[in-house]
């Protein structure tokens, strides 16, 4: 029976390919030819606009079965109807609508995925920006409202070490909320979201903003499984201390949006303040992250007292930088030319980490590929746009659903976690048609039409029954190119920007493209490669050593974040005044992560006087049966909402710049999720100096002592007082538990 079914499929697919043999997208891994996706012996074919069949066979023994067929299950007549000569395109678009209907829960919220119940801030926000704002505006509003806490702030609902502020990309909510406003024009919604966005940004400014770099702290947006994108030595406090390009782009874009909202509501003073912050952060991103030698932005700054750049390309951040005008026009083009694209499409980041399985690492996520396609279209990169579209449509067809992520080695679904009917994947699928091929871009008081049609996609397409405010739009785009010949609204020639006031009732919009050849922009096709493993260093009597790494050509030695030499040895004598790291470089010039910093400077260590050896706070979610051990002196200090500030007297013999860390334990939650990171403000002689974070280190792991982030402060000579105090902006996402135990403070002199 299976044999007969397989032959029937191939016969149907062959018939389809004979009818229409147009090649739309071609890569070394697959082709979109006619109404079929072909990947080696695997094929997927659109039987009709309501059915896709596939003969794909997943990796043996993988836990998630493959559905080899999609058939329309829901009534999608209330949503836009696509007419185009390519049957597979129509079917993939309709599958997106069909799965979108599945994603709307009975309470009118947007479900994250088939395997992922509930509303997650970043997932739903990125989905709303792509498609849900205009296809599900009411569900988008309700979903966003679910992600506001009792303090009127945006919820950071998942991430490393107890979420916020280690994960700090919650401000993508602001981008999504404003997109809903641009679609609906709802003034009450605008008034509702303004204080939420403002309060969240104000708290972030006090908690995660770094005045030295002009950036914000926190892990890379959406890549929230720490081992998947950071070196293994990095603790979650280190991840807080890092500064990620994508998260900073989200903040810069959100600040500009907050300024726009303030202007619309008449708050001109506030508008000026937030616009100034947005422009300053945009400048900082371009100064801190841009890599002239590579032609794209670095992924993040990392380290401890002397941060360095992780020079990987990170596709979502690069795309957002283009879409939200952080990158100049020239840099936008450069990014699309230089960001590596593998045979299956753009990686989440590139190159890959060698000793980590596929999930964020070594993976393609269709929603990221969708943003990449949108960014390439904005930069007028024809081939980049086509490969971005192919990276989304290939898995949608072959797996007969919008999957969460794909293994970048072979395009399969065998990753650590996966889901069908994934909200942001289906949203990206739909955005490719609506935002690229029909060029629908929403402004505060109208629609700007900017279709971008690669020559291979030349056609006459119609998107009818498209809801926009008080109108039903029937939009036709004919031809190809990146220039419009003319636009007609209800038979009259108009500008490509059509004000909302001119769109009432049933409207017919016809866009005739100029059929121009789009100026050639190259792309960076690359095989999927992995870096060398990270060196593991150790220090003994002032000498740093490390185990040799296979296939290494040489090692780079860093002192205080700067390269000082290159060597083929596996040891180095450290000066007594610096922080050292090692990077392995293979024969192809590919670099590993830098090793864990080793600081050989003489430190000031001060125990915090206490005889407390057991937990007493009512905020403790887990009390161990055994006595807490591992602290120095007679005990530790316990902090919670009700404890008094901790004050530590310290004598400084020489004035200068110092790194201050506290040794702490927090067993209130796991290392990879929940929301019980403890947060306090450090003061020096009563003056605020910055934020100290104490992330969760594992449920009940009260004997697991670690270091907080290192806070660089200027200390005067003499007797000083370091204090940890609880300020209102130190409240975490849990609201009930903000608790940790602290043993001592370590102060390290820093070099200029």
The structure tokens listed for 275 are 């616009």
CB 638 within 8 A of CB 666: no
Q: Which residues contact 90 (CB under 8 A, 6 or more apart)?
A: 46, 49, 82, 83, 84
Supply angle C-alpha 337, 341, 344, rounded to 5. 150
CA–CA separation, 279 and 167 (whole Å): 23
The structure tokens listed for 202 are 């104000």
Q: Which of 342, 190, 346, 366 is nearest to 266 (CA)?
A: 190
- Using DSSP's 3-state secondary structure scheme, residue 634 falls into coil
Residues of the chain with pLDDT under 70: 1-20, 60-61, 624-626, 752
Q: How far is CA 451 from CA 37, 92, 374, 486, in A?
A: 24, 19, 11, 12
CB 674 within 8 A of CB 739: no
Q: Which residues contact 188 (CB under 8 A, 6 or more apart)?
A: none
pLDDT for 147 equals 97
pLDDT for 746 equals 97
pLDDT for 200 equals 98
Q: Which residues contact 290 (CB under 8 A, 6 or more apart)?
A: 297, 298, 331
Q: Give percent of the chain above pLDDT 90.
A: 90
Q: Which of 394, 369, 404, 434 is nearest to 79 (CA)?
A: 434
Residue 692: enclosing H or E segment and its boundaries? strand 687-694
All domains in the chain, ordered by first residue: 108-338 (1.50.10.10), 448-521 (2.60.420.10), 532-592 (2.60.40.10), 604-749 (2.60.120.260)
| Torsion, CA 190, CA 193, CA 199, CA 202, rounded to 10 | -60
CA–CA separation, 308 and 140 (whole Å): 39
pLDDT for 539 equals 94
CA–CA separation, 94 and 293 (whole Å): 43
Task: Give the model confidence (pLDDT) of 353-392 as tens digits.
Answer: 998 999 999 999 999 999 999 999 999 999 999 999 999 9
Q: How far is CA 468 from CA 83, 186, 465, 694, in A?
A: 19, 12, 9, 47
What are the residues facing 562 on neighbouring strands? 559
Q: Which of 645, 692, 633, 632 is nearest to 666 (CA)?
A: 692
Task: Give the model confidence (pLDDT) of 14-32 as tens digits.
Answer: 434 444 589 999 999 999 9
Task: Give the model confidence (pLDDT) of 648-687 as tens digits.
Answer: 999 999 999 999 999 999 999 998 888 999 999 999 999 9
CA–CA separation, 79 and 314 (whole Å): 34
- Using DSSP's 3-state secondary structure scheme, residue 291 falls into strand
CB 748 within 8 A of CB 600: no
Q: Please provide the distance, in angstroms rounded to a whole number, between the alpha carbons at the two ends of the chain.
A: 74
CA–CA separation, 95 and 430 (whole Å): 9
Q: How far is CA 73 from CA 246, 395, 431, in A?
A: 37, 20, 21
Supply angle C-alpha 177, 183, 188, rounded to 5. 60
pLDDT for 60 equals 66
Query: Cα Rg for the chain, rounded, in angstroms?
Result: 27
Mean pLDDT of the chain, nearest integer = 94
pLDDT for 17 equals 44
- Using DSSP's 3-state secondary structure scheme, residue 466 falls into strand
Give residue 61's Cα distance to chain centre: 30
CA–CA separation, 25 and 37 (whole Å): 9
Task: Give the model confidence (pLDDT) of 271-304 as tens digits.
Answer: 999 999 999 999 999 999 999 999 999 999 999 9
CA–CA separation, 315 and 368 (whole Å): 7
pTM: 0.95
């Amino acid at each position: 029976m299976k044999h007969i079914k397989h032959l029937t499929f191939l016969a149907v697919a062959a018939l389809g390919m004979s009818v229409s043999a147009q090649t739309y997208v071609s890569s070394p891994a697959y082709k979109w030819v006619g109404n079929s996706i072909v990947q080696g012996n695997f094929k997927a074919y659109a039987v009709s606009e309501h059915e896709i069949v596939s003969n794909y066979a997943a990796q043996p023994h993988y836990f998630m079965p493959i559905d080899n067929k999609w058939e329309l299950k829901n009534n999608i007549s209330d949503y836009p109807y696509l007419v185009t000569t390519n049957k597979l395109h129509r079917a993939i678009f309709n599958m997106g609508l069909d799965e979108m209907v599945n994603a709307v829960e009975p309470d009118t919220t947007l479900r994250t995925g088939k395997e992922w119940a509930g509303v997650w801030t970043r997932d739903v926000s990125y989905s709303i920006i792509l498609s849900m704002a205009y296809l599900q505006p009411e569900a988008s509003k309700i979903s966003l409202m679910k992600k506001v806490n009792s303090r009127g702030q945006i919820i950071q609902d998942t991430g490393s070490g107890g979420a916020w502020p280690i994960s700090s990309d919650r401000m993508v909510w602001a981008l999504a909320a404003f997109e809903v406003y641009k679609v609906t024009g709802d003034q009450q919604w605008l008034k509702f979201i303004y204080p939420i966005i403002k309060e969240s940004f104000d708290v972030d400014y006090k908690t995660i903003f770094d005045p030295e770099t002009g950036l914000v702290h926190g892990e890379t947006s959406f890549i929230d499984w720490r081992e998947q994108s950071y070196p293994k030595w990095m603790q979650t406090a280190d991840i807080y201390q890092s500064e990620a390009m994508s998260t900073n782009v989200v903040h810069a874009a959100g600040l500009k949006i907050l300024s726009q909202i303030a202007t619309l509501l008449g708050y001109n003073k506030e508008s000026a303040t937030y616009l100034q912050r947005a422009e300053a952060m945009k400048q900082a991103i371009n100064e801190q992250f841009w890599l002239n030698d590579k032609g794209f932005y670095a992924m993040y700054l990392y380290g401890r007292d002397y941060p360095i750049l992780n020079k990987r390309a990170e596709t979502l951040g690069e795309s957002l930088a283009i879409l939200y005008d952080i990158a100049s026009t020239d840099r936008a083009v450069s990014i699309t030319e230089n960001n590596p694209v593998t045979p299956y499409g753009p990686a989440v980041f590139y190159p890959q980490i060698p000793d980590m399985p596929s999930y964020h690492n070594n993976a393609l996520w269709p929603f990221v590929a969708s943003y990449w396609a949108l960014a390439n279209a904005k930069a007028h990169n024809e081939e980049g746009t086509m490969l971005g579209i192919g990276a989304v449509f290939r898995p949608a067809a072959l797996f007969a659903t919008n999957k969460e992520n794909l293994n970048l080695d072979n395009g399969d679904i065998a990753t650590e976690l996966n889901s069908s009917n994934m909200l942001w994947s289906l949203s990206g699928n739909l955005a490719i048609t609506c935002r690229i091929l029909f060029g629908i871009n929403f402004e505060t008081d109208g629609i700007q039409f900017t279709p971008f049609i690669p020559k291979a996609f030349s056609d006459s397409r119609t998107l009818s029954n498209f809801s926009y405010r008080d109108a039903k739009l029937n939009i036709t785009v004919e031809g190809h190119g990146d220039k419009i010949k003319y636009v007609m609204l209800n038979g009259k020639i108009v500008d490509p920007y059509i004000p909302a006031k001119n769109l009432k009732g049933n409207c017919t919009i016809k866009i005739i493209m100029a059929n121009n050849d789009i100026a050639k922009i190259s792309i960076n096709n690359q095989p999927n490669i992995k870096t060398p493993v990270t060196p593991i260093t150790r220090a003994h009597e002032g000498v740093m050593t490390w185990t040799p790494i296979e296939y290494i050509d040489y090692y780079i030695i860093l002192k205080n974040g700067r390269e000082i030499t290159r060597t083929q040895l596996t040891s180095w004598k450290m000066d007594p005044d610096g922080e050292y790291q090692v990077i392995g470089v293979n024969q192809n010039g590919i670099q590993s992560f830098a090793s864990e910093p080793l600081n050989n400077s003489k430190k000031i260590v001060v125990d915090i006087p206490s005889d407390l050896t057991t937990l007493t706070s009512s905020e403790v979610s887990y009390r161990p049966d055994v006595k807490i051990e591992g602290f120095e002196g007679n005990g530790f200090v316990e902090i919670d909402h009700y404890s008094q500030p901790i004050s530590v007297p310290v004598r400084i013999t020489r004035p200068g710049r110092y790194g201050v860390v506290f040794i702490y334990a927090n067993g209130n939650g796991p290392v990879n999720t929940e929301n019980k990171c403890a947060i306090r403000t450090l003061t020096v002689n009563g003056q605020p100096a910055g934020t100290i974070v104490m992330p969760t280190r594992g449920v009940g792991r009260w004997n697991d002592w670690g270091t907080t982030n290192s806070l660089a402060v200027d200390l005067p000579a003499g007797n000083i007082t370091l204090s940890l105090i609880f300020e209102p902006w130190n409240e975490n996402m849990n609201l009930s538990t903000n608790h940790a135990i602290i043993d001592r403070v370590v102060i390290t002199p820093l070099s200029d």
